[in-house]
Amino acid sequence: MVQEILELAQHKNHFLEKFFNLNHDEIKFLENSQLDGLDAFHSAREKLLVIIQEVDEKIGARLHRDLQISADARETLKISLRRKDHLVREILRQDLTILSLVQKAKDQVIKDLTEVKKSRQTIGKYRGRLDHLGLDEEI
């Protein structure tokens, strides 16, 4: 039973590492203003979160029993938990970076759309002046 818990803890860390690597790769794309993979990124994250939750449930089911844990197993579990805590902190840091990069991209899109709108208004005014002057040329 203890061995199963240790294996599940390592299994969870494995998927947390995958999650971390997925974030890491997406940050590189976002830093280069490559936004076209956001839907796939989100989907992959959700799938990993489901797997991690399932592993957590399996660990929880096994922990509710009275367990006699040897000193070696306890130390192995502590190491695994420290690794998990480290990964979770890094993932949270990455998530803040991802949110910041997405917000920056969103702000740029809004700025670009505003500039396009202003340009269209300027062209419309210019065309209006040409029409007013009786010029039929297309711009």
pLDDT in tens, 10-68: 999 999 999 999 999 999 999 998 889 999 999 999 999 999 999 999 988 887 766 78
pLDDT digits (tens, 9 = 90+) for 56-110: 999 888 877 667 888 898 899 899 999 999 999 999 999 999 999 999 989 988 9
Q: What count of residues does the chain have?
A: 139
CA 35 to each of CA 41, 81, 127: distance values in angstroms, whole numbers, following the listed order: 10, 34, 36
- Ordered by start, the domain boundaries in the chain are 2-100
3-class state of residue 41 by DSSP: helix
> Would you say 139 and 130 are in contact if contact means Cβ atoms under 8 Å apart?
yes
